[in-house]
Amino acid sequence: PPVRVLPPAARAPLPQVTVRDALNQALDEELERDERVFLLGEEVAQYDGAYKISRGLWKKFGDKRIIDTPISEMGFTGIAVGAAMAGLRPVCEFMTFNFSMQAIDQVINSAAKTCYMSAGSIAVPIVFRGPNGASAGVAAQHSQCFAAWYGHCPGLKVVSPWSSEDAKGLLKTSIRDDNPVVMLENELLYGVPFEMSEAAQSKDFLVPIGKAKVERQGTHVTLVSHSRPVGHCLEAAAVLAKEGVECEVINLRTIRPMDIETIEASVVKTNHLVTVEGGWPQFGVGAEICARIMEGPAFNYLDAPAVRVTGADVPMPYAKILEDNCVPQVKDIIFAVKKTLNI
């Protein structure tokens, strides 16, 4: 018999899932799937997590699998890295990546370099995760983006999700990966709901590390972003579409290894490139993308210089009006697009 395709109205709407719940699902499923997986960090157990990412997990899996630690990042990160070397698969939560500075020696010198220094004989399967970049009203010591810092270091994989599907799929893939992975989430996205496809609701749903996703097709300019600014890029693209400018929006998903091929293919099509990020301009993710495009085959297709939209080159101010001016806004993206298109 012929296949009946239901009209769009008859299809059940896809469920909306917040990034917080997507991360919680991923942790729950992976803890259940593999008994070597455990979660440790400040407040992750009895309090259900500082951001409620680990809600319900301590009650379900108990003290051995969900471990509250003292406020000592260097200490519990060192314990986690040692556990990974010994064959467990820890998920190490930082209350904010700004405090991973306390433990960056463990992340880089102990975790990232060990596989290479042991000629491949010691794997360090560990995930470092938590909120990264600016939140709201938390000043300079809680607002730095570490995508460029961690993306700089060989031996690490670095992922930066935007949507709920990104968050769930990348966390599950990261936990199963045999390398140390730094997962840079965004606190302001935790409560944001996104549609979750049927595939993403499955326990087998994985998002590959190192592959960007084209969130919107376009022909006039390529916008490349990661984490929360992907949403700003889509908003800017919607505004610009009303003026006849079609933006192609690329969600990087992974900072290292970077999917330069997807960006190149887009630039060959649109002939214009704008990068958008919340981090500082100097030696940033956008700077790396611009350099890679300049060195590669897509350079000859550019009809204008690539433009970066970044955070301001200052420690994050506390005052709201100053903070708003330090973080890329939709209007900044629109301005950059018009500048590069000369309109």
**Contact of 180 with 108, CB cutoff 8 Å:** no
pLDDT at residue number 3: 73
Q: What is the pTM of this model?
A: 0.94
- Catalytic-role residue among 42, 142, 187, 248: 142
Would you place residue 68 in the very low, low, confident or very high pLDDT band (cuts 50, 70, 90)?
A: very high
> Fold match between 16-199 and 211-339?
yes
**What's the average model confidence in pLDDT over 272-288?**
98
pLDDT the model gives residue 12: 78
User: Over the range 256-267, which residues count as b (16 or more CB within 10 Å of their CB) and which as e?
Assistant: bebbbebbbebb
Q: Looking up tokens 């990020």, which residue turns up?
A: 277
Hey, where are the domains in the chain? 16-199, 211-339
pLDDT for 276 beyond 80: yes
Contact in structure between 232 and 225 (CB atoms under 8 Å) = yes
pLDDT in tens, 92-121: 999 999 999 999 999 999 999 999 999 999
- Give the per-residue pLDDT at 142: 95
Tell me if 37 sits within 8 A of 80, measured CB to CB. no
221 and 247 in contact (C-beta within 8 Å)?
yes
Each residue's pLDDT tens digit, 169-227:
999 999 999 999 999 999 999 999 999 999 999 999 999 999 999 999 999 999 999 99
In CATH, what class is 211-339? Answer: alpha beta
Q: Is 73 a catalytic residue?
A: yes
Running DSSP on this structure, what letter comes out for residue 4?
A: P
pLDDT score at 137: 95
Q: How far apart are CA 171 and CA 91, in angstroms?
A: 10
Q: Return d(Cα 220, Cα 270) in angstroms, integer.
A: 5
Provide the pLDDT confidence category of residue 11 given band limits of 50, 70 and 90: confident
- Across 266-294, average pLDDT: 98
Between CA 267 and CA 251 the distance in angstroms is: 14
Question: Distance between CA atoms of 256 and 337, rounded to whole angstroms?
Answer: 26
Q: Residue 9 pLDDT > 90, yes or no?
A: no
Q: What is the pLDDT of residues 129-166, one digit of tens each?
A: 999 999 999 999 999 999 999 999 999 999 999 999 99
Element (H, E) at 115: helix 114-117
220 catalytic per annotation: no
Which of 29, 30, 42, 73 is catalytic? The answer is 73
The CATH number corresponding to 16-199 among 3.40.50.970, 3.30.70.360, 1.10.3720.10, 3.30.1240.10 equals 3.40.50.970
